[in-house]
Amino acid sequence: MKALSLGAKAVGGGRFYLFALAAAGQAGVERALSLMKDEIERDMRLMGVSTIAELSRKIYDLDRTD
């Protein structure tokens, strides 16, 4: 979320799905992706946005001086 808010065009998910694949096969990968989707949707709601396009640097208030 932070990388996208700061202007990245894409981000990688790392190896999380490989661990799920090794542990539980296809069902594990599907579950891991479902959990990731749920986390992203929750984080976006907490940030007050409903689409990726709404993410911006302003969310992080990087110029705050107090």
Between residues 63 and 13, which one has the greater pLDDT? 13
pLDDT tens-place string over residues 7-35: 899 888 778 889 999 999 999 999 999 99
- Residue 37, pLDDT above cutoff 90: yes
Prediction pTM value: 0.76
Going 44 to 45 to 46 to 51, the CA torsion angle's sign is: positive
What single-letter amino acid sits at 40? I
What is the rounded distance in angstroms from the CA atom of residue 24 to the CA atom of residue 30? 10
Q: Is 36 exposed, middle or buried (0-12, 13-18, 19+ CB in 10 A)?
A: middle
Position 58 scores a pLDDT of 84
Give 46's pLDDT tier (boundaries 50, 70, 90). very high
Query: Residue ranges of the domains in the chain?
Result: 2-60
